[in-house]
Amino acid sequence: MSPFVLVLGLLGLPSAHAATIAMEDQSQLQPSAGHAAVSQFQPPQESELPDNAYGKLVKEGYALFVDTKRLAPTFVGNGLNCSNCHLDQGRLANSAPLWGAYPMYPAYRKKNDKVNTFAERLQGCFQFSMNGGTPPTADSREITALSVYAYWLASKAPLGVELPGRGYPDVAQPAKGYDLSGGAQVYKGQCAVCHGPEGQGQKAGDSYVMPPLWGKDSYNWGAGMHRINTAASFIKHNMPLGKGGSLSDQQAWDVAAYVNSHERPQDPRLVDGSVEKTRVKFHANDGVNLYGQTVEGVLIGQGIR
């Protein structure tokens, strides 16, 4: 942590804006060519875990991954858990499984001539998907336990080989593009029963069971899920819960656009307090997204507290 951030923290100022960004490049993974139905990688079972320090750390990583909000509250600024977007405890193919990710880091990005480590990738999800302000340091207990959990899930996976089922496989944009009013229809008919008519999610006690899709408790404007193409791929493969693959590509794109036309917490990379500058620097070449654009006379991307 830089001394600058430390001082701000001591003064009790909100650190979200001052936080150094661990992984500035949140642009999407290189989309992989469509995979044929090849045999799926099988991560190990929990029953196979050894009863020693390693097994304990794996379990700690598991706990953090599925119960993030409760166990790492200082690093989670919204209402989400990692497993909300990486289903089946980070095991499910086509739901950006940890076993598909771990063997692919450190990752080189030609675009900005940078190398990102696995720890930085985890920190990125904390800052953007979890809207968490300054993320846990690379050598923190949290990042260590989560990395060990991912390493274990990737047991016997080949290193540096892209496995089928990694990420959220691309769903190509339909020829007609996308339609927000069509998305509103899909949302009302297939999503609102769980995520609520206002995308607010539903709780049991004080924690979310159905996570919020927009508003102050959801992912922020810098998160990968804010891209319509990424959300469309996630939704097509994983939603409605338990009925993945049931929406048409058109429906997935329409509803992804509808969800991502709603306000959510500001992009923590905000440049000089300007949505327009932030759009030009970070969003103009980042897939399909509505950040900084005007829809029906309203500027999207103003953020929400």
Partner 1 sequence: MMSLERVLIGSALMLLLGNAHALDGKKIFTEGGSQPGAMPCVACHGADGAGLAAAGFPRLAGLPALYVRKQLEDFRRGTRVNPVMQPLANALTDAEIDAVSQALAAMPGAVPQPIHRSEMPIGAAQKLAQQGAWERQIPACASCHGPAGTGVGDTFPPLAGQPATYLAAQLTAWQNGTRHNDPNDLMGHIAKSLTPDEVQGVAQYFASLKLEAKP
Binding region for partner 1 (CB under 8 A): 46, 59, 62-64, 66-67, 70-71, 81, 83, 87-89, 91-92, 190, 193-194, 202-205, 209-210, 240-244
Q: Tell me if 249 sits within 8 A of 172, measured CB to CB.
A: yes
13 vs 241 by CB, closer to partner 1: 241
By CB under 6 A, residue 133 contacts ligand HEC: no
| Of residues 113, 65, 55, the one with CA closest to residue 91 | 65
Angstrom distance (rounded) from CA 82 to CA 112: 27
Tokens 């429906």: give the residue.
Answer: 251
In the list partner 1, ligand HEC, none, the entry touching 202 (Cβ below 5 to 8 angstroms by class) is: partner 1
144 vs 277 by CB, closer to ligand HEC: 144
| Of residues 203, 229, 206, 225, the one with CA closest to residue 214 | 225
CB of 88 to partner 1, least distance (A): 4
Contact pattern for ligand HEC over residues 240 through 279, marking x by CB under 6 A: xxx----x-------x---x--------------------
Contact pattern for ligand HEC over residues 182 through 221, marking x by CB under 6 A: ----x---xx-xxx--------------xxxx----xx--
Which spans of this chain sit near ligand HEC (rule: CB under 6 A)? 28-29, 68, 80, 82-87, 96, 98, 100-101, 104, 121-122, 125-126, 129-130, 146, 166-168, 186, 190-191, 193-195, 210-213, 218-219, 223-225, 230-231, 234-235, 239-242, 247, 255, 259
